[in-house]
Structure 1
Amino acid sequence: MSWGEEQPGHPQGYGQVQGYGEQLPYGYDGYGRQQPYPQPQQPYPQQQSHGQQPYGQQPYGQQPYVQQDYPQQPCPPHYEGYEGYEGYEEPGQRVPVDSTATAPVVEPEPEPVAASSEPAAGGGRDRYFDTLRAVALVRVVAYHTFGWAWAGLVFPSMGIMFGLAGTLMAKSLERPALQVVRSRFRRLLPPFWFWGAFVVLAMMIHDWMPGWQIVYWIVPLGDPPGNAWGEQAWEILWYLRTYLWFVLLSPLLLRLFRLAPVPVLVLSLAPILALTFVWAGPDNRLGTALWDLSTYLFCWILGFAHRDGVLQRMKPAVVVVLSLAALGYGGWYAFAHRAEFGTYDLDEIPLAQAFWSAGFVTLLMWAKARFRIDFAGLTRFRRLDRIVTVFNARAVTIYLWHEIALILAVPLIDQFWKVPAFETYLPLESQWFMFGVGWVLVALFILVCGWVEDVAARKRPRLLP
């Protein structure tokens, strides 16, 4: 939730398949809904933004505990996986651990790990990445509440979440690829199934009759089908679908990247250029997946570059100039084609999103590697540090349930109007009030549903991590 990202509807599912329906019966006035992409001969459906779309995720794979060779101080547990409580490390070095930081006790996965006489690296938490993910999730919820077109320019949540997920995936692939892929799927699918059971049942009650495509509600490698009544809930699933495809492709992508790191990183922007200027792809689930994968491919491989120390070895002037060039092109394309797309919202313009996210995330990760930023001082602010911890441990839950929380906030606020004191003293018409009520409901979903993430990660279920 590394996680979706992350929409005025996700940070990015560029469209849904035909037949899903056109109108939601209720919600929050259409905020977070996206419009179809104009394209040659026929409109191209736009991708949703989980905050783009959160739902960052990513997700998961946990490495068993390995005792550090430091007799004076026990090594804290290590975590992996995009959506879960993950650990980070700089290439080739161990991240220092703040003795005041707290971390949940994690039982090791029953998966074999090669014995090593060397101490395990990365035993600590990197609060820089943790904080980026937490902010990305907040931005996703805010975007779906207010529909701010400028939100993606200020903080491209989905690009950041895919970048973090790519870093963690590269680290995890130090283990056998099949084991890593299986672990990632295991950590993501149970929370998705739990959430999907409620959504599917609700849509069937509201006259939806599923066909064979319901298999995508089991493994969302394609956009799961649904009706217009539930669209506001399921439109964010583009992020999970894109994440799972990146997980499947990562063993091959990582091999290609390590053959020629910089050329492969630069060429990862070629697919989105081809889709924009050469061929728009088929108008179906495959086409939608191609657009989303192409939009965030650079950010995912950039995570590989950070993990392998490529960014750290590059000349600062080169990194800064290229990043600013990508930002400039992405921003120019968004505003220059504003009339064509009807907005400068990056979530509606894949090419602009790809280049803006590429420049933005590159600067964030390069600064991390160059200046050793770790936000370790965050542990001095115990409540804020606690919030960041919960957001990272419950990234999947927050991403999946936040749209439902915003939907439920509308009828709940309607009931407040029936109480004279509430009508007089509460700003019931304000979207900020709905934003606050939505977060109260998100917190409730974290308590009621978050334990599923613990079960998926083979940890002891807890109300809060």
Structure 2
Amino acid sequence: MGAHSKGVVRPAPSAVPSDTAPLPRPRPTARDRYFDTLRALALVRVVAYHTFGWAWAGFVFPSMGTMFGLAGTLMAKSLERPALKVVRSRLRRLLPPFWFWGAFVVVAMLIHDWMPGWQIVYWIVPLGDPPGNAWGEQAWEILWYLRTYLWLVLLSPLLLRVFRLAPLPVLALSLAPILVLTFLWAGPDNRVGTALWDLSTYLFCWMLGFAHRDGVLQRLRPAPVVVLSLAAMACGGWYAFAHQADVGTYDLDENPLAQAFWSAGFVLLLMWAKACFRIDFAWLTRFRRTNRVVTVFNARAVTIYLWHEIALILAVPLIDRFWDVPAFERYLPLDSQWFLFGVGWLLIGVFVLLCGWVEDVAARKKPRLLP
């Protein structure tokens, strides 16, 4: 104890608070590096999958289930504020980057003989799959994630209320919709049906985010969690391999029920481990460059996701031009998918620099090249 502990120390006149004295700025809330790292890894896995097409990638790391689980946690945290304000904030952060990206895609498809009908409204608010032509399909086919995320955001105020009535039963029942669609009713064959399938596939992961935020997972014993997680993954894995003849592959992305159960078990383990062992990856901040990369990935997650397919598309003709340079042809592995992966990431970096500022504007922050 110092000398000040022996008596009352009066503050100097300049330190006495007054009506005119400026209040100290609150410290920014420290980010959870565990969740940030998972999101960064999920984005890397998405780009790798779209480059190499590895059918086994979803078993190693179900990136979309993980991202929905993380988003559910953040949504539950945000809903401590008025629901309408939270939903508006989420829409404001999501839609401007989507509009900016969509303007380029729509114009490019119009140039390539595409003429939309009234469904073009889905390019304004993607509650259904935005229309497009075959020429631009590789670019716009990723929008199912934004559509599913948007629906979950809109439903979250109701879902969170229902979840808090009976957390564990509601969490378990969140797998029921995908079972109904698989075995009882396949839903309508239109945009509504497609949205129902994706929503049902990842509903459990989103609700897991609620469970983590409310401390439900932290109260669970290790043995039941591990057993249930492994059982769900075993069910999903078995169903994927048992029905690969139906879809021509064991890829989880082609089998919604297998995806739902594998992601449920995998993300449950991730979320429970976080809650039980209080994993925070705070050590990551000691590695300046790695910590910087994780920061950029999280601040530019929407930009990376939206533009990564276009980056991979552009990488192909760019590499074709490399063959015209004798030194490149001789010393660079131009025919390697790994080289395509590397060039793709370089182009993603360019898009982050050129387009990432839209995320800052959407979040009402000062635009920056890099956060």
| Smaller-chain TM-score bracket | over 0.9
Shift of 1:124: 1.3
Question: Of residues 225, 236, 241 in structure 2, which corresponds to 1:319?
Answer: 225
2:208 matched to which residue of 1? 302
Aligned ranges 1:45-56 → 2 under 5 Å: none
Alpha-carbon distance in 1 for matches of 2:343, 2:222 = 44
Aligned ranges 1:103-122 → 2 under 5 Å: none
Question: Of residues 306, 318, 331 in structure 2, which corresponds to 1:425?
Answer: 331
* Cα displacement string for residues 62-96 of structure 1 (whole angstroms, at most 9, x for unaligned residues): xxxxxxxxxxx97432xxxxxxxxxxxxxxxxxxx
2:128 matched to which residue of 1? 222
Question: Of residues 367, 378, 387 in structure 1, which corresponds to 2:284?
Answer: 378
Question: Of residues 152, 163, 166 in structure 1, which corresponds to 2:72?
Answer: 166
Aligned ranges 1:236-315 → 2 under 5 Å: 236-315=142-221
Structure 1 residue runs without a partner (length 5+):
1-72, 78-122
Alpha-carbon distance in 1 for matches of 2:215, 2:83 = 21
Structure 2 residue runs without a partner (length 5+):
1-23
1:76 matched to which residue of 2? 27
TM-score, normalised by the number of residues in structure 2 = 0.93
Shift of 1:281: 0.7
Question: Of residues 228, 241, 255 in structure 2, which corresponds to 1:335?
Answer: 241
- List 4+ stretches of structure 1 deviating above 6 A: none
* Cα displacement string for residues 306-325 of structure 1 (whole angstroms, at most 9, x for unaligned residues): 00000001111111111111
Shift of 1:359: 0.2
Shift of 1:125: 1.1
* Cα displacement string for residues 266-312 of structure 1 (whole angstroms, at most 9, x for unaligned residues): 00000000000001111100000000000000000000000000000
Q: Tell me how many residue pairs correspond in the alignment.
A: 348
2:56 matched to which residue of 1? 150
Q: Does 1:453 align with 2:370?
A: no
Question: Of residues 110, 123, 136 in structure 2, which corresponds to 1:204?
Answer: 110
Higher-helix-fraction structure: 2
2:98 matched to which residue of 1? 192
Alpha-carbon distance in 2 for matches of 1:166, 1:334 = 26
Q: Name the SS of the counterpart of 1:305 in structure 2.
A: helix
Alpha-carbon distance in 1 for matches of 2:219, 2:202 = 23
Give the greater-gyration-radius structure (CA): 2
In structure 1, give the amino acid aligned to 2:98.
Answer: F
Percent of aligned pairs with the same residue?
Answer: 86
Alpha-carbon distance in 2 for matches of 1:391, 1:290 = 29
In structure 1, give the amino acid aligned to 2:115.
Answer: M
Alpha-carbon distance in 2 for matches of 1:441, 1:144 = 15
Give the superposed CA RMSD. Answer: 0.8
1:175 matched to which residue of 2? 81
In structure 2, give the amino acid aligned to 1:146.
Answer: F
Alpha-carbon distance in 1 for matches of 2:30, 2:362 = 22
Alpha-carbon distance in 2 for matches of 1:342, 1:441 = 32
In structure 2, give the amino acid aligned to 1:443.
Answer: G
In structure 2, give the amino acid aligned to 1:396.
Answer: V
1:393 matched to which residue of 2? 299
Q: Name the SS of the counterpart of 1:397 in structure 2.
A: helix
Alpha-carbon distance in 2 for matches of 1:76, 1:400 = 32
